Amino acid sequence: MEHILHPIPPLYDRQSRILILGSFPSVKSREAQFFYGHPQNRFWKVLAAVFGCPMPQTVPEKRAMLHAHHIALWDVIGSCDIEGSADSSIKNAVPNDLTPIFTTADIRNIYCNGAISHKLYQKHLARQTGRNATKLPSTSPANAAWSVERLVEAWRQIAGNES
């Protein structure tokens, strides 16, 4: 078990209307210094399908896709004890402060990528923000019960909330 500080800054701008929260970056994401860096994570594939655009390959392309669709992206946890990338091992979690995002952007909807992200949001941030968050199925490869097609259908609800 290792105590790790979140190494990736939040992605948002004044036009952000949707906030998607993960739990904490995986080892691969920490190495890549950007969200959903594991090649088997289906996050980018699902978002590209939901918005009907090409799947971004580079970090600049990923940033551009998120900004084009008014999506802010960050994680619930700012530091924690964790074994590798296992969300289930998270202990001593310290939440991120979402205030900078909310004071900059008119966030209208919050979505959590997976049950653990949602559980951590409810525990650490819901009272602070006073906002509900919608739990979406995790795009993690560990969520093998959900095909890409099923994930796209479940995630499609964010497309109507981007403007």
Which domains does the chain carry? 2-158 (3.40.470.10)
- Over residues 108-146, the pLDDT tens digits come to 999 999 999 999 999 999 999 999 999 999 999 889 999
Q: Pairing mode, if any, of strands 91-95 and 109-113?
A: unpaired
Distance of alpha carbon 95 from alpha carbon 159, whole angstroms: 27
| Stated pTM of the model | 0.94
